[in-house]
Chain A
Amino acid sequence: MSESNLAKILKAGHFAFTGELGPPRGANVDHVREKAAPLKGMVDSVNITDNQTAMVRMSSWAAALIAIQEGLEPNYQMVCRDRNRLAMQADILGAYAHGIRNMLCLSGDHQQFGDHPNAKGVYDIDSIQLIGMTKRMRDEGLFLSGAKMDGAPQMFIGAAANPFAEPFEWRVHRLAKKIEAGADFIQTQCIYNMEKMREWIRQANDMGLTEKTYILAGVTPMKSLGMARYMKSKVPGMDVPDDVIKRLQGVDKKKQADEGIKMACEQIEEFKEMKGVAGVHLMAIEWEHRVPEIAELAGVLPRPQV
């Protein structure tokens, strides 16, 4: 079976560029295909979100399989909120058996955010324990219980990092724990506060962490001033400095989306040069059709073939 394309890109030293696809609230396969089409050839791998914001959606592994049919390489997201260690290990085996090669291990937004706020949250294990469990399955062919398995899933293991959430000085240590647990790559929360990002990466460089993992900087272009204000005030763990708001305020409403894309491209330019950053994870939320344009403007095309 083939190795992860994302892994090959990163190991070859190319600047990685990954995208995101949110599965539909229903069984509409065409919806997945429509979102997948513009991403083809534009990104090295596509994150398939797992009941994001705790809203029920088509399962991430299922949408990931459709993405494979459409010629994309999925990065299968798995949250700890919805399944226990038995279900997780079973899904990892099944996902690998069907050709999924990348996984992103997450705690998940709390169920209170979503459409089933009184669901029983599972959280049998946490995201760091999930990373460790997946690594053990891959490298030792062992279940969490220690029992041997028949066929070890060779996943390229990812984790998330939020450089902006408090306590800031702990964030780099949490990153270190994720790497120690087995994170091959990291995708960060959407970055708007570049100053804080530079500081966090500096700390990670100083601790030698960026030599042990590949860090992909999270970028989400602002579509409008309204979106920027919403992200600033309503989304937990998001850090949107006033400068970002002011810059969007400074342009005509019709041009705010273009300005948002321009800002994202400026960030990407800086990340290309930033020591310790191995790529960019573009989260163009419900904006998949504009990814080709953003990729072009960001100068990340054509994607390398390895």
Chain B
Amino acid sequence: MVKAKRKPLEEIKQAIQDYTRVLNIGCGGCVSVCLAGGQKEVNLLNAKLNLVLKNDNRATRVDGFTVERQCNEAFLADLDARVARYDGLMSMACGAGVQLLAERYPDKPVFPAVNTIAIGIDRQIGVYEERCRACGECVLGYTGGICPITRCAKGLFNGPCGGTNDGNCEISKDIPCAWQDIYNRLKAQNRLDDIKKIKPAMQWQNQTRRLVVQDEYASRYKDK
């Protein structure tokens, strides 16, 4: 799922302090799961913001509301009546949620309260690791289920480079070398022949905005 991390309080305060009434909108989806922007985080952030804004003698007051998912307009309908009462909006959703909010309320300024970081996995409570860069051309079948684009610092398709250091990446002794791991896994599965073949240059699919239309539903949208 998408992983996000809240922006520094000062940055958020600077963004909203010139507005009087701000609605901070949380999301019950991914950002809730990764403890960045669900209802609990909305309440926590608002309490902090209202305190510092008051101490700064600002008139700004922040209220909160959390929708089930910000990346689907059906869930935003609940907000329409509320939003009218605010001169500024803040979103704790991922970048997709922020943009859909801004699209639905084009006359309202919308500020992100989190930085969207990654598609990742849950390692511990509050600890997440990036696993996918959404390149659109998955090679995991060839690399033993280890993503070279995400996990190799150089995104090599024919690794490892000459910088591996005791099984770690040349950039840090705390980052395991993706290609060392790929090698170990494929060796254990007796599949090293997979990576003996040269992987040709990637035809990048993520350089322009992508639209996903599932084949089973494509006929519905043919004329649109």
- Which A residues form the contact surface with B (CB < 8 A)? 80-81, 85, 107-110, 112-113, 121, 123-129, 132-133, 144, 160-162, 165-167, 170, 173-174, 176-177, 180-181, 189, 236-237
Contacts and interface: CB of A to CB of B under 8 A. Distances in A.
A56 to B, nearest CB: 18
Contact of B183 (A113, A129, A160, A167): A167
A107 B163 CA distance: 10
B48 to A, nearest CB: 29
Contacts of B204: 124
B196 A177 contact: yes
Given A85-B201, A132-B198, A189-B162, A112 B154 contact: no
Contacts of B153: 110, 112, 121
Interface string B163-182: 11111001100000100100
A112 B204 CA distance: 24
A174 B180 CA distance: 13
B156 interface: yes
B167 A166 contact: yes
B159 interface: yes
A126 B158 contact: yes
Interface in B10-44: none
B202 interface: yes
Interface in B181-210: 183-184, 192, 196, 198-202, 204
A127 B152 CA distance: 14
Contacts, number: 97
Given A167-B180, A167-B184, A237-B170, A107 B164 contact: no
Contacts of A189: 162
B182 to A, nearest CB: 10
A107 B161 contact: yes
Contacts of B200: 129, 132
Contact of A81 (B154, B158, B184): B154
Contacts of B109: none
B156 A126 contact: yes
Contacts of A112: 153, 171
Given A166-B164, A176-B196, A177-B196, 10 more contacts: A80-B154, A112-B153, A126-B156, A126-B159, A166-B160, A167-B160, A167-B180, A167-B183, A167-B184, A237-B164
B162 A160 contact: yes
A110 B196 contact: no
Given A107-B156, A123-B155, A126-B159, A236 B164 contact: yes
A85 B170 CA distance: 24
B192 to A, nearest CB: 8
Contacts of A177: 158, 196, 198
Nearest to B158: A128
A86 to B, nearest CB: 12
